[in-house]
Structures are given as C-alpha cells and as structure tokens.
C-alpha cells in the first residue's frame, strides 16, 4: 500500500499548480486578446457552461469508449504477440519490420490512411491501438527476457512444468514492465485518439467539439475541451494502473 501524502506534499503540489495557472493568466494578459488566448477564468466559465449539457457528456463518453477500446485491444494483442514472439524467435523477426513501421510512420499518415480505408467512425480506436501496441509488445519481450536465469535453471533441474514455470517465474518478471509501458501508453493513446478525432470529426466525440470550437473561434471553449481531455487522461491512467496493480496483488 502506498503511504498517504503528507500535508506538506499536498501544499507543494497546490503551489506548483497555482504557479502554472499564474503563468497561464500572465500569458493571457500579455496577449490581451481572449479570442487568441483565453484566460483561466474564461476557460473555467466555458467548462461550467458545458458541464450541464447533454452534448458534453455524449462527446466525453463517445471518446472514452473509442480510446478505451483501442487501448484494451492493443493491450491484449501486444501481450499475446509479445509472448508468442518471445517463445518463437522466427515470429519476432517476422514482426520486426511491421513494428519498425508502426514506431516511425507519422501518426498523421496513419490517420489519413485509416480515414480513406475505414472512415471516421472507428478512427480513434484504430489509431489508439496502433500507438499503444508497440509499447506493450516490446514491454512483454523485455519483461519475459528479464526473468532470472538462476530460477529458470533451477526449474529445469527440478523439472518444473512449463505452465508453473510461466506463472511463477515469467509472470512476476513481466508485470513491472507491463505497468511501466501502460503508464506511458495511456497518455499517448489519448493524445493520438483525440488528434484523430479532430481530423476525422466523428459524431459524439471530443475531437468534433474541439473542431467546432475552432471553426467558431471560441478559444475559451477550445481550452475547456483541452482541459477536459487532460483530466480524463489522468483519471483514465490512474484507474487502469490501479486495476492492473490490484490484479497483480491478487495473482501474487
């Protein structure tokens, strides 16, 4: 169990937050044009105006559904292929060019191709999957490869079965790598997913609402949607990592 945060730590976090809000306010005052750079107060007002509306929650739930589905599919596919590639080196070599392409091709290229092939409805799902999958795949390879050679040798000497060997030796080695990869992949899935929605503008999406705010030059609302994405990404990351850690504790 993590130790509770001390009041001093909480106060320091609050002061850091206030510092950056102050920088935001100073930048807004320096620009002097709310249509170009909304202030924190204007953004808060816009957010409070959006919160009671059905369109806001429809967009939030729509984006959350797509990005969560893309992340879950990437997690399952990355783990499955990562374990298989660790077991079969030929599969690792076969997948290497595909993984290299997925890591190097610009996200915008993927978005445009997916729009051409599949349309905008499932755009965020596929983009989130493509962004997260390589991180989970390589985490699985690294985690399994970090298993203790001494424990594996002892398991061979005592003729421990493959299933028990995987559960008792490989699983504990894999889990920390998986947690770390998910921690970085969760934020990336939101960044890429929302970017895909802004370009594809599927209905019931945050990306569509951000695009409309840009069209109508409503910078405060654009900032409010951006703030919503940040908060949703943080909550989603904390929820998923909490769930993974609980699963890990249950398995131990």
Question: Number of helices (H) and strands (E), helices first, in the chain?
Answer: 11, 0
**pLDDT given at position 1:** 47
**pLDDT given at position 12:** 83
- CA dist., res. 79 & res. 86, Å (int): 10
Q: Which phi and psi angles does 217 have, rounded to 5°?
A: 55, 35
Per the CB < 8 A criterion, the answer to whether 71 and 63 are in contact is no
Topology given in CATH for the domain delimited by 39-251: MetI-like fold (1.10.3720)
- pTM here is 0.87
- CA dist., res. 221 & res. 53, Å (int): 13
Please name the residues in contact with 140: beta carbons below 8 A apart, sequence gap of 6 or more. Answer: 78, 79, 81, 82, 83, 85, 86, 174, 177, 178
**pLDDT given at position 92:** 92
**pLDDT given at position 101:** 86
Residue 39 burial by Cβ neighbours in a 10 Å radius (0-12, 13-18, 19+): buried
**pLDDT given at position 252:** 59
Full pLDDT tens readout for the chain, 252 residues: 455 566 777 888 888 889 998 998 899 889 888 888 889 999 999 999 999 999 999 999 999 999 999 999 999 999 999 999 999 999 999 999 988 888 888 888 888 888 888 888 888 999 999 999 999 999 999 998 888 888 877 777 777 777 777 778 888 888 889 999 998 899 889 999 999 999 988 889 999 999 999 898 899 999 999 999 999 999 999 998 888 888 766 665
- CA dist., res. 141 & res. 130, Å (int): 18
Nearest to 119 by CA among 187, 200, 41, 51: 200
Per the CB < 8 A criterion, the answer to whether 179 and 245 are in contact is yes
Residue where the block lists tokens 């503008």: 201
- CA dist., res. 229 & res. 213, Å (int): 14
Per the CB < 8 A criterion, the answer to whether 133 and 77 are in contact is yes
Neighbour count for residue 77 (Cβ, 10 Å): 15
Q: Phi/psi zone of residue 5: left (φ > 0), alpha (ψ -120 to 50 degrees), beta?
A: beta
Q: Where are the domains of the chain?
A: 39-251
**pLDDT given at position 251:** 61
How many Cα atoms sit within 13 Å of 177 on the Cβ side?
A: 21
- CA dist., res. 167 & res. 172, Å (int): 8
């Amino acid at each position: 169990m993590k130790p509770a945060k001390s009041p001093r730590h909480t106060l320091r976090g609050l002061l850091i937050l206030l510092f950056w809000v102050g920088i935001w306010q100073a930048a807004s005052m320096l620009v002097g044009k709310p249509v170009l750079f909304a202030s924190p107060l204007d953004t808060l007002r816009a957010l409070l105006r959006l919160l009671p509306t059905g369109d806001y929650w429809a967009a939030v739930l729509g984006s959350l559904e797509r990005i969560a589905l893309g992340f879950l599919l990437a997690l399952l596919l990355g783990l499955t292929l990562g374990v298989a590639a660790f077991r079969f080196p030929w599969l690792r070599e076969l997948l290497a060019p595909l993984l290299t392409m997925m890591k190097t091709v610009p996200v915008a290229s993927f978005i445009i191709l997916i729009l051409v092939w599949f349309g905008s409805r499932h755009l965020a799902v596929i983009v989130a999957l493509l962004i997260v999958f390589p991180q989970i795949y390589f985490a699985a390879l690294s985690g399994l490869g970090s298993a203790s050679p001494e424990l594996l040798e002892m398991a061979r000497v005592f003729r421990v079965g493959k299933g028990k060997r995987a559960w008792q030796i490989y699983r504990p080695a894999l889990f920390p790598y998986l947690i770390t990869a998910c921690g970085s992949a969760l934020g990336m899935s939101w960044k890429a997913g929302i970017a895909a929605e802004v370009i594809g503008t599927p209905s019931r999406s945050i990306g569509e609402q951000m695009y409309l705010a840009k069209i109508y030059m409503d910078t405060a609302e654009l900032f409010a949607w951006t703030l919503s994405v940040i908060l949703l990404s943080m909550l989603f990351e904390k929820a998923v990592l909490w769930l993974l850690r609980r699963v890990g504790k249950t398995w131990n």
